[in-house]
Structure 1
């Protein structure tokens, strides 16, 4: 396969200077792309983790901090001549500080097709509620006095 890559030589020199292996990616993941949004009475966190073994995904809550971590293991280099190696391998990790209004004990998660979805419910005590205003049924009269 032939293709024109004007920056190929520059990339090759840069990899050599930075000590990157020529036989595969030795880079570790820089970030875990994610979205966080609120729907009704809960938050939803979705994180892209393509190619991650579902058994390596770990989700924990400790002292109000939600930690998401996952591991992508490299492919075997045995008998492989790499032409391009751009996929990261290693440990992905993100941490989010949860507010006081979160029910940490009711957090749930699901991993489907490379996407981790975490549902973070708002605590019952933090949900908006309507406050009833009491009023008296009998009309009260106010008398004015002159001085």
Structure 2
């Protein structure tokens, strides 16, 4: 059983203010602009051939697997994104440049919004 290093015991919790602003694994940004959703995912070190982007029934799947033979390590990535509007799946575009995957998902022009408006009582 490994004992904690003394530095960790003394510093434990002292970095709380800096932890408040950590990203906690949020390696992507998703926003809507004009008539499309734009998703950017930080995936440094991957080759484009190691990444897979698929669209299936309103769900975008982003996955990748990278093996670093010099370090003897393997990284995997998988995340799913669901969208609140109908996407024109024939026009989805993906680009990988400088470690950032950008996926553009155009909102379907003829998308019919379904649902029922709920009256708010006051």
Structure 1 length-normalised TM: 0.55
In structure 2, how many angstroms separate the alpha carbons of the residues matched to 1:56 and 1:74? 12
1:101 to 83, 86, 89: 86
The list of structure 1 runs, each at least 4 consecutive aligned residues, that deviate by more than 4 angstroms after superposition, is none
User: Which residue of 2 is the match for residue 62 of structure 1?
Assistant: 56
Q: More strand by proportion, 1 or 2?
A: 2
Query: Structure 1 residue 6: deviation in Å?
Result: 2.8
**1:14-33 deviations in whole A, cap 9, x for unaligned?**
xxxxxxxxxxxxxxxx9561
Aligned residue pairs total 93
Say which one has the larger Rg: 1
Aligned partner (choices 19, 26, 41) of residue 47 of structure 1 = 41
Unaligned runs of 5+ in 1: 8-29, 79-87, 128-147
Q: Structure 2 CA distance, aligned partners of 1:77 and 1:102?
A: 40
Q: Which has the higher contact order (CA 8 A, sep 6+)?
A: 1
The answer to whether residue 117 in structure 2 is matched with residue 123 in structure 1 is no
User: Unaligned regions of 5+ residues in structure 2, if any?
Assistant: 1-5, 9-23, 113-122
